Amino acid sequence: MSKPLIKEYSSPGRKGYSLPTLDVPDINLEEELNPKFIRQQLDLPELSEVDVARHFTSLSQKNYGVDSGIYPLGSCTMKYNPKINEDIARIEGLSNLHPYQEDKDLQGSLKILYELKNNLAEISGMDEVTLQPASGAHGELTALMIIKQYFKDKGEERKKIVVPDSAHGTNPASAAMAGFEVVELKSNERGMIDLDKLRGLVDEDTAALMLTNPNTLGIFEREILEVAEIVHGVGGLLYYDGANMNAIMGYVRPGDMDFDLMHFNLHKTFSTPHGGGGPGSGPVGVKKFLTSYLPKPVLIKEGNFFKWEYHRPHSIGRVHSFYGNYSVILRAYAYIKALGADGLRKVTENAVLNANYMKAKLKDVYYLPYEEDSLHEFVLSASKQKEKGATTLNIAKRLLDYGQYAPTIYFPLVVKEALMIEPTETENITTLNKFIATMINISREIENNIEIVKNAPHNTTIKKLDEVKAARKPDLRW
């Protein structure tokens, strides 16, 4: 980056502060402190307020975020999050609480937690919810620990977790971390669960099938009740990955699809900016027969008093210090209360409408590998463009030149040269059309001036990288 460091702007005598007149007795520091601990010179830049403001404003403009433009990352969407929720998460009376305060002093906050877990249970069709897990993947691990304990109490040592090849990458990772053997289930030609293959894979050693619905291709598994019947038929459990909940809210509930337990991604579905790994929150919901295994303590209500219940002999124990990622929980609570049932249903409608509008506009330019109806996201392939010499990665980087963020690429793995696009419910038609026009224009560029695409990006602060060197020897400082 060619921009000077803030120290390099320093000029002797400039300052950006003004201190009030000293209104306490002056003291001699060398008499109060050991002189060897007193530095005479501090290597601080000397700058005016304007220097500082312009420097950091300039740096902020070199970043791209959800407030800069569309962020169409499929499956891991960084959707718009109401700014009012940021204010709510920072209310002093909520943000300055300490978890060691007694329950009687925290009744307001405990009520928020209690109402949120009940709201999530209602939205999902589950019977009980824990808010402890700190991320989606953490929620997966928590659920898998519950599954393991459930079978252990039944005297069964089931080892297999079945994961479709269109699953999120965290699913097999979480299953392996929990000590299970991961068995991959190939999708059928429609990008959905192959029932015959599923029947051939599951047996009395199967602990669970981990499934996202709609899956990462954006396709709703219409035969989900048959899937549940097959898995339950061998005594296994059906686990729902809630990463794509914003495609079904208000229309269908995992519990009604016969899922036994699930995790939510509060940070994706119910507000909270999410990118680069956090912050997150991954509550886990379970059906009644699994409630005794939830992490402790469990929040209960006795009369009008909210309290933590620690005596849970079948619990898998704590999975998080204290009670969960409270600031994310607050944002989710505010989001759900503000929208209400009708609002959440509208979120689903707009997410599905936006995705299908974009798919209809782009499917003749980029290859559409699966013709099944899409919900909130869809997956294209740049295989036609690759035949002409430009890859999906080239296209993604060229998008940056047009001031737009790239979609998820090369995922799911079942699609070659994959472009997974999720516009979210909050983008308007002007933004959608701009993205569509850019994608079409890049495809034309590949035909007429392919080098400009292959050598992209040209307009960003950091130009085209040596990708191998960047991956093996990342330089994250300047």
Q: Cis (ω within 30 of 0) for the bond into 214?
A: yes
Q: Taking the CA of residue 127 as centre, how many other CA atoms within 13 Å lie in the half-sphere pointing to its CB?
A: 12
CB 236 within 8 A of CB 175: no
DSSP assigned state of 48: -
CA 122 → CA 125, 225, 240, 450, distances in Å? 5, 20, 15, 52
Going residue by residue through the chain, which has 478 residues, state the pLDDT in tens, using 9 for 90 and above. Answer: 567 889 999 999 999 888 899 999 999 888 889 888 888 788 889 999 999 999 999 888 888 888 888 888 876 666 778 889 999 999 999 999 999 999 999 999 999 999 999 999 999 999 999 999 999 999 999 999 999 999 999 999 999 999 999 888 899 999 999 999 999 999 999 999 999 999 999 999 999 999 999 999 999 999 999 999 999 999 999 999 999 999 999 999 999 999 999 999 998 899 877 655 568 899 999 999 999 999 999 999 999 999 999 999 999 999 998 999 999 999 999 999 999 999 999 999 999 999 999 999 999 999 999 999 999 999 999 999 999 999 999 999 999 999 999 999 998 889 999 999 999 898 999 999 999 999 999 999 999 999 999 999 998 888 888 888 888 888 776 5
Neighbours of 309 (CB within 10 A): 12
Q: Residue 373 contacts by C-beta under 8 Å, 6 or more apart in sequence?
A: 219, 220, 356
Residues of the chain with CATH 3.40.640.10: 84-339
Q: Give the CATH H-level superfamily of domain 348-469.
A: Aspartate Aminotransferase, domain 1 (3.90.1150.10)
Tell me which of 1.10.287.1080, 3.20.20.70, 3.30.470.20, 3.40.640.10 is the CATH number of domain 84-339: 3.40.640.10
Q: Residue 412 contacts by C-beta under 8 Å, 6 or more apart in sequence?
A: 165, 166, 167, 215, 216, 217, 379, 418, 420
* Cα–Cα dist 379/419, whole Å: 6
- Percent helix, strand, coil in the chain (nearest 5)? 40, 15, 45
CB 166 within 8 A of CB 195: no
Query: What is residue 463's predicted lDDT score, i.e. its pLDDT?
Result: 85
Q: Name the residue among 213, 259, 268, 237 with its Cα closest to residue 144.
A: 237
* Cα–Cα dist 66/409, whole Å: 18
Query: What is residue 474's predicted lDDT score, i.e. its pLDDT?
Result: 84
* Cα–Cα dist 215/166, whole Å: 7
Residues of the chain with CATH 3.90.1150.10: 348-469
pTM of the model: 0.88
